[in-house]
Amino acid sequence: MQGVRILGHTKGLKEAVMETILVADCGINHNGDLSIAKKLIDVAKAGGCQYVKFQKRTIDAVYTKEELDAPRESPWGKTFRAQKEGLEFSKEAYAEIDQYCKQQGIGWFASPWDEASVDFLMEFDVPFMKVAAACVTNLPLLRKIKSTGKPVIISAGMCSLDELNAALDVLGDGCQYILSCTSTYPTKVEDMNMKKIKNLQHMFGSVKKIGFSNHSSGILFIAMAGILGAKMIEFHITLDRSMYGSDQAASIEQPGVLKIRDYIQDVEKSWGDGEIVCLPAEIPVRKKLTKNWAKT
């Protein structure tokens, strides 16, 4: 993706601070390339996102030797290990990401998949710890995450209500956000289960902020999540869906990212107070189109 141009935002009226937090999930879509990671950060910043998110794994802790030795064709070699190692950033690379995000005025955090990765992220004083859907049932990892004292975001994908409750019991007050999601990449329309946001609001909304993690390939359901009152919306971003990687097809390219902020801000502006009244904007129309029916 050489020569990618980061488009400016053209809607000058959209500068209000949003209540909904937007998180651009870079995940592993950087393909282990710092220059791609920085371009993704630029896209997120241009789209009004408050944070970018990555994934952090200690390869030998997350996967077995048998898994790592298995054949897997990738740009980095012919084994699963080569592919996973190719996707991981070093401490030096994350230090550069940390500095670049500070320069750009955008926050960053990551999903740690193992306890060593929790310690790794703490060296950068990240604002959140994110529990990936695949880690909801890893209670020792959740205890480690809780011990950091960092605010926690958890994705409620591919788990049962009992499993989610068990995770929340471990995390306690440390968990601030629960994100509704479906963990398929990309998610089919019939599997989006958007009513899950309302159910989570009903069950946990008095003590947690309920959000949405998108894995569809478009922005329709991101806007819908805003309409349903999601307090945090996370979505995968990419420079090009045709790039190598399992998450690219479930990601949003730059033009879509730029639209998301506008849609969510318009949703927030459109809420009103719900009162059944004649609005000031309606008075001239009322005078023109209605009569004093009471006198006829």
pTM across the whole model: 0.90
**pLDDT band for position 162 (cuts 50, 70, 90):** very high
How far, in Å, are 19, 64, 259 from residue 79 at the CA level? Answer: 44, 13, 39
> Residue 290: what pLDDT?
87
pLDDT in tens, 111-154: 999 999 999 999 999 999 999 999 999 999 999 999 999 999 99
Nearest to 257 by CA among 31, 54, 106, 46: 46
Q: Domains in the chain, please, with CATH?
A: 21-295 (3.20.20.70)
Six token digits for residue 191: 């599997």
Average pLDDT of 263-280? 91
- The region of weakest confidence among 117-131, 152-166, 189-203, 274-288 is 274-288
For 101-119, letters b (16+ CB in 10 Å) and e give beebebbbbbbbbbbbbbe
Six token digits for residue 241: 């869906």
Mean pLDDT of the chain: 92
End-to-end CA distance of the chain: 71
